[in-house]
Amino acid sequence: MNKTLLISAVLATLALAACDQPTVVNVPATPVAVPGPAGPQGETGSQGATGYQGETGSQGATGYQGNEGVQGETGKTGDGTTVIVVPPEAAAPTN
């Protein structure tokens, strides 16, 4: 009985495997479009509309106070000579 069951199982497996054949389907190749010669040029398009004026930006923040500069050295004492600088005379208006 064991041999009969074994042989039946092997024959059933082979019979089912023989029935399961994939079907091959040949798909036709997609035709490739070949471009023809260029046509005549079209007319020039119309001028586009003018854009809107943008909004004015907001005012920037106030800057920081600068640091105080370094104090200069005291100047040397003069030799007693005084120099007077006279501004130039104003030119007379021309008529």
Question: What sign has the CA pseudo-torsion 84, 82, 78, 74?
Answer: negative
What is the rounded distance in angstroms from the CA atom of residue 22 to the CA atom of residue 72?
102
Q: What pTM was estimated for this model as a whole?
A: 0.22
pLDDT, residue 18, reads: 67
- The first and second tokens of residue 69, run together, are 């500069």
Model confidence pLDDT, tens digit, residues 17-36:
766 667 788 888 888 888 88
pLDDT, residue 21, reads: 66
Spell out, as residue ranges, where the chain has pLDDT lower than 70. Answer: 1, 18-21, 95
pLDDT, residue 94, reads: 72
pLDDT, residue 95, reads: 66
Residue with tokens 């907001």: 58
